[in-house]
Structure 1
């Protein structure tokens, strides 16, 4: 097929056919390509259109420019909507975003994502379902949800809980940032390609999708040493517990500079979000299918985005940018097991998350 640009539904997502590839290109650089509802719907529509199109044999996902692939979801809009007394923006966004995540996870055609630049939150949700995940020297990967009173969602429970050792607990609680080499070391990505080679790689894959893996292997280089590798013994030892207070106590008792720095990070995180995140990492491996993971995460997020911590975290980090969130409850000791349990209760059937019907052709 010829490379014909075809806008679908939203000006911030370009979807087009490129030889044998369906191309999805995020184009919202001023917001680091953060996803809003229109972008989610445009991506969903494109994937549904291509699902039964024999001319489209592979899907390539990248961004149009700037230093971010995708910095997450548009949480500022959601927080303002809650403050105005509505709350429907969050419900609609997360419901449809999770449908997109599930569609990508179960998609019958291989996905190739170019994680060049910032990949956080919702960006992880559209990157990790892809078969081929490419990082570069510019990659910055993180799940920073505990900084705004949320938890690593968009399938984060499934992806993180399958990492080696206690890396999941460390990443979920601290929002630690990984570079491309770290992502390769942990298995979050499978090819490290210099950023100046990406355009050529995309063109080759679009023309010969059956050779995608060999094309990527040929372009990939050995990444530099991964910093996370040296930290793993400390992470496994100090994050061994599923109890947040026990993790904090272990870090305090350790007394190393590394442990002190981690403690300083955790002191700025929502205690409720941290405890919910730890519980999710216990529950996620028990979810038999990805659809079960999405149903559980939606029940959690539908409660958390209405909580005081979410509004406060978004205010302090993204709106006023003061960096001084006042969490409620303020300490881990005040967050009881019963409070955490409440986030994990199934929603009533009329409110529960559901995937797209199997026969859907449009979003």
Structure 2
């Protein structure tokens, strides 16, 4: 979500050491100089936005959102600005999301900040989607949660072999927000449902093959690509697309590699076509293959409430517009931060680091329809409006 968390409970990701480092970066992020957290520059024919917190994996905070949004709107109206580029500083991350620990800490002490974070982040997601100028996100490195929201709604998204995509929110008592309810159910087959419920990570060219990126470029060519885009003279959308296509066509890394989930897609489409989380679990149990049991193990560690919210979010989102989805997700965000599991997830992963959250309710059958409906209820005059 904006609120991201990179870690997983399974040996599949066996990266707990690196993951803990990432999480520590995200929790230290209150102490940086606000002025330099995001760079907004006019270069050549473009407006360039650089998320400038490489030590913290370019994690997004409220002040960054409040700087980016008005500048995006200004460039959108400026006749001298022909495209907008969004990128992250450093080599590790485009944007690993937002600072969940700060959100958790401020829920009681500064509820307005927490409301503003989600409200303004989602408004920025929508502004990217409706941007009148071609918008190009260079999703090099870690791109999760809020970083997905800053990229996936743009017209062009360029992945590299170092791209790492995931929406792992169900593991911390949240749900894949920032418009996840819009873009995930629109991926091929039931891929989005699988990614949303399991937090599965896609790397490199797979981010393109999955449809999350529109182009793939070898990372050593990324600087040249940017230079060529900036050097365009009053370009049309077609001129920009041509440059991206040229680089994409020439990229060689993993050119012939098949999609990591290709051999499993038929089964994923079948398992995740179920209308309830319980049925999905039953499908995985009945299949009994090692891949199915691995997914079962992952899902069983997630917040039961988050799993149910997420499945309904995607099913409803599949026929909604992005603004309608973001309005729904704002309601969900406020219910989650007012509930138990989000704060327990933050405790287990970031504070005590015991990786052993005690979810309430502890199992799926205890998550009632009433609980679920309450998450989706209108907030009346506090609803997100566009």
Q: Spell out the pairing of 1:11-26 with structure 2 (5 A cutoff).
A: 11-26=36-51
Task: Provide TM-score, normalisation by structure 1.
Answer: 0.92
2:60 — aligned with what?
A: 35
Pick from 253, 278, 291 the counterpart of residue 258 of structure 1. 291
Tell me, which stretches of 5 or more residues in structure 1 are unaligned?
Answer: 1-7, 356-363
How far did residue 30 of structure 1 move?
2.0
Check if 1:319 corresponds to 2:351: yes
Contact 1:10–1:38 (8 Å) recurs in 2: no
1:57 — aligned with what?
A: 82
How far did residue 313 of structure 1 move?
0.9
* Stretch of structure 1 that moved more, 172-181 or 217-226: 217-226
Tell me the matched-pair count: 345
Pick from 160, 163, 168 the counterpart of residue 136 of structure 1. 160
Distance 2:179 2:75 in 1: 23
How far did residue 174 of structure 1 move?
0.2
Distance 1:316 1:146 in 2: 14
1:354 — aligned with what?
A: 385
1:310 — aligned with what?
A: 342
Q: Spell out the pairing of 1:222-261 with structure 2 (5 A cutoff).
A: 223=255, 224-261=257-294
* Stretch of structure 1 that moved more, 277-286 or 178-187: 178-187
Pick from 301, 304, 308 the counterpart of residue 275 of structure 1. 308
Pick from 199, 204, 214 the counterpart of residue 242 of structure 2. 214
Q: Spell out the pairing of 1:152-191 with structure 2 (5 A cutoff).
A: 152-191=176-215
How far did residue 188 of structure 1 move?
1.2
How far did residue 271 of structure 1 move?
0.6
Distance 1:45 1:186 in 2: 32
Distance 2:59 2:147 in 1: 8
Distance 1:234 1:30 in 2: 40
Distance 1:56 1:230 in 2: 44
Contact 2:91–2:140 (8 Å) recurs in 1: no
Distance 1:332 1:213 in 2: 46
Distance 1:212 1:226 in 2: 27
Distance 1:155 1:59 in 2: 20
Distance 2:333 2:224 in 1: 39
Contact 1:185–1:229 (8 Å) recurs in 2: no
2:151 — aligned with what?
A: 127
SS at match of 1:286: coil
2:322 — aligned with what?
A: 290
Pick from 99, 107, 120 the counterpart of residue 131 of structure 2. 107
Q: How well do the aligned residues superpose, as a CA RMSD in angstroms? A: 1.5
1:5 — aligned with what?
A: none
Distance 1:29 1:152 in 2: 23
How far did residue 87 of structure 1 move?
2.4
SS at match of 2:302: coil
Distance 1:193 1:265 in 2: 32
Q: Deviations over 1:224-265 (max 9, x none)?
A: 321022221121122220200111111112111111111111
How far did residue 282 of structure 1 move?
1.2
Contact 2:85–2:135 (8 Å) recurs in 1: yes
